[in-house]
Amino acid sequence: MFSKILIANRGEIALRVLRACKELGIQTVAVHSTADQDAMHVRLADESVCIGPPPSRESYLNIHQILAACEITGADAVHPGYGFLSENAKFADILEAHGLTFIGPTAEHIRMMGDKITAKKTAEELGIPVVPGSEGEITTDEEAKKVANEIGFPVIIKATAGGGGRGMKVANNEDELSIALATARSEAGAAFGNEAVYIEKYLAKPRHIEIQVMGDGEGNAVHLGERDCSLQRRHQKVWEEANSPSLNSAQRQEIGEICAEAMRKMKYRGAGTVEFLYENGEFYFIEMNTRLQVEHPVTEAITGIDLVHEQIRVASGGGLSVTQKDIRFSGHAIECRINAEDPRSFVPSPGTITHYHPPGGLGVRVDSGVYQGYKIPPYYDSLIGKLIVHGRNRVECMMRLRRSLDEFVVDGINTTIPLFRDLLANPDIANGDYDIHWLEKFLAQKSSE
């Protein structure tokens, strides 16, 4: 087992990883920018190192500084959290070259899944159902037309280096296609430094359902069920739940086993998420994330398995603590992403939290890095915490969530807490009857009222 882990991240996820390390008796090193010197992850870590000024590229994305921090503190492994360097294959390579362990998959697997065209090809070869679309990159209008007519309109043009819901354009007919192709390519170039795009069938009313997997790198792997992340704004997840209101246990076992088997064949190491769109009873692979996800706690709530413990165990060569038959799904869990944003306009709301009272009680978990008097810096994403609620069934979970939101006090800034109160009052949400477009429509309707 490792003796000291450096956590190359900030905010709630840095704290989440730190807690797992403490439970396992591992020393922790926090890294931080000058804007984060008063952050909770810095306060709670055994040691901390300032790695640069506020902009992420000069601090949390600065590989040299992070390496130097490992050297100064004698850390033997690095946990990247999510975002920042978590899916950076070069970072994983550099750490290994310096005799440090990257807590995650191999650089080769990160690369393979980081390029969405390769990811789709690989998934297909491994027996995972994929969205119909182009075989590879599309560069000309003629190619685009040919593929679009084969699969049928509407189609979506997506960046092969894409992430965070950026660089996607929908075309409803041939006339819209060439403009969509040109804009998608230039947006992809600007956002990712890579213009390559591909085409896939645009699904009209799918749900976003993803499967959590965990492998030991030796050919053993398990699935931990699904998460339904259909409630999205601008392709960004807002609310996630497990189990999905739309799957039964036979469907769960079937798609879960397909993913677990694919991970066994790949000899995948660590935590991963296989993302699908789900429509009319069919699953369509869209991408795989080779890291811990923001929404991992809903899986932890219904399985009782600490995913960060498993990541650390596997990375240290200790293997998985569970086999598939040990994994049971109990009750229902929902996560609300609490952002420091105006709940109507979604404009970020950095500033000082003047009063803070998180909810508690049975089945309630708050993962957050903030506290009363904490000043939210303007430089990073606006997620300030996650409220995760567990109940014996979905009805109990929703009752508990409503109560928890009422108890949650964050004064001094705007937060998205009121949005979740509105969602809970909606019959579609109560019935679990929503797809990936539902939230945008709901928000558009609200803003016109």
Minimum gap (Å) between residue 209 Cβ and ligand ADP: 10
Selected binder of ligand ADP within 275, 300, 335, 435 (CB under 6 A): 275
Residue type, 272: G
Which window, 41-49, 195-203, 292-300, 353-361, contacts ligand ADP (CB under 6 A)?
Answer: 195-203
Selected binder of ligand ADP within 203, 336, 353, 383 (CB under 6 A): 203
Could you say whether residue 274 binds ligand ADP (CB under 6 A)?
no
Which window, 91-99, 144-152, 165-173, 253-261, contacts ligand ADP (CB under 6 A)?
Answer: 165-173
Q: How many CA atoms lie within 13 A of 288 on its CB side?
A: 33
Which position among 10, 291, 365, 400 bears the catalytic label?
291
Could you say whether residue 163 binds ligand ADP (CB under 6 A)?
yes
Could you say whether residue 202 binds ligand ADP (CB under 6 A)?
yes
Question: Which residues are within 8 A (CB) of 341 and not within 5 positions of it... i.e. 6 or more apart?
Answer: 347, 348, 349, 382, 414, 415, 416
Number of residues counted as binding ligand ADP (CB under 6 A): 21
Could you say whether residue 286 binds ligand ADP (CB under 6 A)?
yes
Per-residue CA distances from 123 to 192, 227, 439 (Å): 23, 19, 29
Minimum gap (Å) between residue 8 Cβ and ligand ADP: 21
The answer to whether 344 is a known catalytic residue is no
Nearer to ligand ADP (CB atom), residue 234 or residue 344: 234
Could you say whether residue 152 binds ligand ADP (CB under 6 A)?
no
Minimum gap (Å) between residue 76 Cβ and ligand ADP: 31
Could you say whether residue 132 binds ligand ADP (CB under 6 A)?
no
Length of the chain: 449
Q: Which of 289, 268, 153 is nearest to 219 (CA)?
A: 268
Is 393 exposed, middle or buried, given 0-12, 13-18 or 19+ CB atoms closer than 10 A?
Answer: exposed
Q: Cis before residue 154, ω within 30 degrees of 0?
A: yes
Could you say whether residue 107 binds ligand ADP (CB under 6 A)?
no
| Residue written as token pair 């390390």 | 21
Binding marks (x or -) toward ligand ADP, 233..272, rule CB under 6 A? --x-------------------------------------
Question: Please, which residues bridge with residue 5 across strands?
Answer: 28, 77
Could you say whether residue 131 binds ligand ADP (CB under 6 A)?
yes
Q: Which of 40, 15, 45 is nearest to 29 (CA)?
A: 45
Whether 6 contacts 70, CB under 8 Å = yes
- What is the Cα–Cα distance from 390 to 302, expressed in whole angstroms? 7
Buried b / exposed e along 47-72 (16+ C-beta atoms within 10 A): bbbbbbeeebeebbbbeebbbebbee
Could you say whether residue 197 binds ligand ADP (CB under 6 A)?
no
Minimum gap (Å) between residue 396 Cβ and ligand ADP: 28
Which window, 174-182, 199-207, 373-381, 412-420, contacts ligand ADP (CB under 6 A)?
Answer: 199-207
Cα 127 from chain centroid (whole Å):
23
Could you say whether residue 199 binds ligand ADP (CB under 6 A)?
no
Selected binder of ligand ADP within 65, 88, 106, 232 (CB under 6 A): 232
Q: Which of 64, 62, 76 is nearest to 34 (CA)?
A: 62
Q: Which of 416, 421, 419 is nearest to 404 (CA)?
A: 421
Minimum gap (Å) between residue 29 Cβ and ligand ADP: 30
Could you say whether residue 169 binds ligand ADP (CB under 6 A)?
no
Residues that bind ligand ADP (CB under 6 A): 131, 156, 162-166, 168, 200-203, 206, 208, 232, 235, 275, 277, 286-287, 436
- Give catalytic residue positions: 291
